[in-house]
């Protein structure tokens, strides 16, 4: 990983993420490849998930990773990049 923080957005380094949303009736998981340094909010925007769930309010709805609350708008810290078995 580079010492530059936040990472250069033109960097070729990427990570695999999944943007997920569910209602009692429906679940959608969108796998994506995003540049390292992408915020959770940016990934959600890029996923297009709001086309499927227009009720999502990106500015006010809470975000999380596996039910752990997440700001989503801040740059992720280098230690927040970790692999999780799926």
Asked whether residue 46 is domain-assigned, the answer is: yes
Asked whether residue 49 is domain-assigned, the answer is: yes
DSSP conformation letters of 6-50: SPPTT-S-EEEEEEEEE-SS-EEEEEEEEETT--HHHHHHHHTHH
- Give the pTM: 0.69
Parent domain of 8? 1-64
d(C-alpha 57, C-alpha 64), whole Å: 14
For the chain, what is the domain count? 1
pLDDT digits (tens, 9 = 90+) for 29-76: 999 999 988 888 889 999 999 999 999 998 888 888 877 787 777 666
d(C-alpha 6, C-alpha 38), whole Å: 9
Find the Cα–Cα–Cα–Cα dihedral 83, 34, 61, 57, rounded to 10°.
-160
The CATH number linked to 42 is 3.10.20.280
């Amino acid at each position: 990983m580079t010492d530059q923080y936040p990472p250069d957005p033109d960097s070729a380094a990427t990570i695999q993420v999944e943007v997920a949303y569910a209602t009692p009736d429906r679940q959608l998981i969108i796998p994506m490849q995003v540049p390292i340094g992408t915020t959770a909010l940016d990934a959600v925007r890029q996923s297009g998930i709001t086309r499927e769930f227009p009720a999502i309010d990106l500015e006010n709805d809470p975000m999380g990773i596996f039910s752990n609350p997440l700001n989503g708008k801040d740059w992720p810290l280098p230690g927040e990049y970790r692999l999780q078995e799926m």
